[in-house]
Structure 1
Amino acid sequence: MENKETDEVEKLKTKLMSAWHNVKYSWALKSKTYFSRNSPVFLLGKCYHFKAEDVDAASGSSSSESMDGDPITGNVEAFRRDFASRVWLTYREEFPALRGTTLTSDCGWGCTLRAGQMMLAQALLLHFLGRDWMWSEALNLQTLDTESWTTSAARKLVASLEASLQGERPPDTDPLPLPQARAEEADAHLREVYHRTVVSWFGDSPSAQLGVHRLVEHGRSSGKQAGDWYGPAVVAHILRKAVEEATDPELQGITVYVAQDCTVYSADVIDSHGKQAQRPDAQTENRAVIILVPVRLGGEKTNPEYIDFVKGILSLEYCIGIIGGKPKQAYYFVGFQDDSLIYMDPHYCQSFVDVSTSDFPLESYHCPSPKKMPFNKMDPSCTIGFYSRSVQDFERISEELSKILRPSTKEKYPAFTFMKGHGQDYDLCGPLARERKERPFLGDPRRARVTAGDFVLL
């Protein structure tokens, strides 16, 4: 009898917490993100310049512009389109209950999982569509600049966008020759099919290959339960398991490698490109590899010496971003300008979308408004991601990264290292491993007792 009453109390607590989180994260406060017009902006390896020199010289306009509705200068529009084309995955409510729980929302605890999903989605976009792909409707999204909005208002927004997209579009003033137009239309259709397929893999249902239901299940082997907090290092291993056990044929040409002890073992990555998968119907060669490197860039705070390193990483075309954030809040870092990081924020509660339908709305999976955060607020615990299409790609990646990772006069040790051979070739309990544990970041010997997975983000 007592156990039954305890269960009822726990269920009531769960419902109350879920209701509170749904209210808390269903509101988006009005905020504008300002970018300097005099400094380049980097977004996942692409560089954008907002300064229009001829306009500046004539008008003497201000040195910064908001991204939310202010006049466009330079190639701001190209940046907006690129940013809004990235897949945005946020808290959701009203989805099927997670196994063994009454939870129908991940509000308040799932943001690191969502940040990991966004990084994985970017890798899949690179894999299937390439870095130059842009969503055709990216610039039609309404910016989140109203005073506040609830999930019901979001539903109305999606409905209005769908209605507007179904209307007639003005004809092209200079139509292409018919065969060329048909070829381009077919190519655009195929790309949109891949885009929609990638998004559907992250749906919030038990059947979604990479959805939160599957990720929570994979997290159980790491001692995590639905409602727990997840760290960036734990999420890296969860993503590896999710991709490894995905059954969709399209996902069997890609795998995930997670670095051990801040070390990427080259032979292990090369083997991942061509190794025999566990599933009998999987491809055995020419597999792409997502490389995830859990690191810690300081003690309680990020060491400023790592700022240039993070900038260098986010400037690389094969970088798929960083799962990071600030204490108790996980973000997906995708770029930077000057001394501020650019990120996608999962802390919005949106309604469940049934991705099993062929025409499910895509608008809530794309964010029109980038956000910025100073580097000095970045939590030191993070996971860095890279995409390698082939062995040749990996050789080039390791060569270029070795230059960024090379210690300078200020930096005693790199954030992570590349080593030849397999991880099993090294005695992880021997002197080399002890030395690495004693120097995981710059100039703080107290860090010897902490690993990348110890610091947990909400």
Structure 2
Amino acid sequence: MDGMFELYLDGSIEPDDIPHTSDPVYILGKKYNALQELETIRQDILSKIWFTYRKNFVPIGGDDGLTTDKGWGCMLRCGQMVLAQALVTLHLGRDWIWEPETKDSTYLKILSKFVDKRQAPFSIHQIAMMGVSENKDVGQWFGPNTVAQVLKKLVKYDDWSSIAIHIALDNALIISDIRELCLSQEDEGCVSMKCGSGGWKPLLLIVPLRLGLQEINPIYASGLKKCFKFKQSLGVIGGKPNLALYFIGYVGDEVIYLDPHTTQKSGSVENKETEEEIELDSSYHCKYASRINILSMDPSVAVCFFCSTEAEFNDLCHAIKKDLIEPEKQPLFEVTYEKPKQWKPTLDDAVEAADFELSGEYDSEHEFEIL
């Protein structure tokens, strides 16, 4: 991937990011025409914060710790991309556009939350160290659910971000649980000016799913594509064998993704005043996305949505029922207001909801973890 990235940058090869087709292109809930809006699509993709492998950062876990996440941090970087997009949507808006000369203080503050150092609340250091609480050693590969669980813990320590994360397990989105989380008046992290009506705390909703054993069952392809159409879409974290990827849209039968498998130098953009800081800022934005057939994805995924307000959440629930559950022979997941009475948090339930890790970068293809 590093070599391909260099060829794109110097113009040696023509990018094959978006096909010239009459099929609609969807990027995180926005619909485009590739024949008429190619540059607009590329500008939208370029504006997403792109996290990749980095090298020569402060050691993780002490002086003898790791100074690069190459080979093990791709899912951690995908988790960072999802959370960063949630923060951009909340604090800057879904239609915010990044340009090389951008020095917006809010944008720079968001970026600083992820810089590769111990003090940053969502740095690779914090995610890797918090992963220990999920039985993952520093340097060990994460699955989609693991990174979701870690981010859920970390956001509680950053009041400015003002986001709540809910992870819907057992293929069920339970509305009452989410309302209890987001409407809690006791949560000091819910700064009044950032909460929606009724004190709603902005919600990053993550739904871990297993859509097959070794490969995605084609019956789920239609439903998975519909998730990218919802205006609350925050994409899908998952991958393909040996690679974790952040999927941000689709066209035809192909999904569009940002790939973290490029190793770049570590550093802080700060206030973007020096040439080095300006150059570093550009390294957080991918000029050309990539795409693969949707059935080539690993079946272990986590579908993500973001609801800034209670009204957006209600709208999402309605859209899921209308477009994702009722028409599909095999819905990706269910929506229910209350937890079923017969449901009890037993060990069997935990195993059923376990995080079946993607099959790459380590030798445990069938491994799962009990939460």
TM-score (norm 1): 0.69
1:375 maps onto 2:294 in alignment: yes
Q: 1:395 aligns with which of 308, 314, 317?
A: 314
State the 1:245 CA deviation. 1.9
State the 1:369 CA deviation. 0.7
> How many Å separate the matches in 2 of 1:429 and 1:273?
22
Distance 1:281 1:309, change over 3 A: closer
Q: 1:302 aligns with which of 216, 227, 232?
A: 216
State the 1:349 CA deviation. 0.3
Q: 2:228 aligns with which of 310, 314, 329?
A: 314
1:203 maps onto 2:115 in alignment: yes
1:275 maps onto 2:275 in alignment: no
Q: 1:99 aligns with which of 61, 69, 81?
A: 61
Give the corresponding residue for 2:43: 81
State the 1:339 CA deviation. 0.8
Give the corresponding residue for 1:122: 85
> How many Å separate the matches in 1 of 2:191 and 2:91?
17
Contact 1:405 1:417 in 2 (8 A): no
Contact 1:95 1:204 in 2 (8 A): yes
Which amino acid is 1:40 matched to? P
Contact 2:108 2:271 in 1 (8 A): no
1:288 maps onto 2:207 in alignment: no
1:44 maps onto 2:7 in alignment: no
> How many Å separate the matches in 1 of 2:336 and 2:69?
38
Query: For 1:54-453, what aligned pairs fall within 5 Å after superposition?
Result: 74-100=36-62, 101-137=64-100, 192-246=104-158, 249-251=159-161, 253-276=162-185, 279=188, 285-356=199-270, 359=273, 360-361=277-278, 362-406=281-325, 408=327, 411=329, 413-421=330-338, 427-428=343-344, 451-453=353-355
Contact 1:381 1:455 in 2 (8 A): yes
3-state SS of 1:47 partner:
strand
Which is higher, the Rg of structure 1 or of structure 2? Answer: 1
Q: For the aligned residues, what is the CA RMSD?
A: 2.6
Which amino acid is 2:244 matched to? A
Unpaired segments ≥5 residues, structure 1: 1-23, 52-73, 138-164, 166-187, 438-447
Contact 1:25 1:107 in 2 (8 A): no
> How many Å separate the matches in 2 of 1:303 and 1:312?
16
Q: Which protein is richer in strand relative to its size? A: 2
Which amino acid is 2:28 matched to? L
Distance 1:426 1:26, change over 3 A: farther
Distance 1:83 1:353, change over 3 A: same
State the 1:29 CA deviation. 6.0
TM-score (norm 2): 0.85
State the 1:306 CA deviation. 1.1
Q: Which protein is richer in helix relative to its size? A: 1
State the 1:336 CA deviation. 0.8
> How many Å separate the matches in 2 of 1:136 and 1:356?
17
3-state SS of 1:206 partner:
coil
Contact 2:169 2:353 in 1 (8 A): no
Distance 1:415 1:50, change over 3 A: closer
Identity %: 30
